[in-house]
Amino acid sequence: MTDFRDVLDASSFQQGFVDSQGDLRAIELRYTSSGNVRILGQLQISPRLQGTTAFENFMVALVDHARNERIKLAPRAEPVVDWFTENPIYHDVLLTVNDRLASNDQTVPVADARSTG
């Protein structure tokens, strides 16, 4: 497993994991930024990592990163939404209707987490 990285130039969170054949495979979660909020969009995960703990480990690292950096997450990718639904202990990093953008102190509109819009 490689370190969790927030690749700002690519607007993505990335981490590498070793698959069952010993090859390094990446998980990448692309986002858009609005102040201290990361709107989590497209998830890319190697099919060879399915059935492993890689996605779980990636999501825990993402939550740790969000806590350390004091950012809020607004998931849109269905697997990410589902993971947060199944793991309410991590909801402290999710964007709520009461959160405000750090950059301009305006209320952030919160849509249904499953919307693509």
User: Residue 107: is its pLDDT beyond 70?
Assistant: no
pLDDT digits (tens, 9 = 90+) for 27-66: 999 999 998 999 999 999 999 998 889 999 999 999 999 9
In the chain, count of helices (H) and strands (E)? 2, 5
Output the pTM of the full model.
0.82
Query: How far is CA 85 from its chain centroid?
Result: 13
CB within 8 A of 31, min separation 6: which ones? 11, 12, 13, 38, 39, 40, 41
- pLDDT score, position 100: 59
53/60 Cα distance (integer angstroms) = 11
- pLDDT score, position 38: 96
Average predicted confidence (pLDDT) for the chain:
86
71/102 Cα distance (integer angstroms) = 9
55/45 Cα distance (integer angstroms) = 8
pLDDT digits (tens, 9 = 90+) for 66-78: 999 999 999 999 9
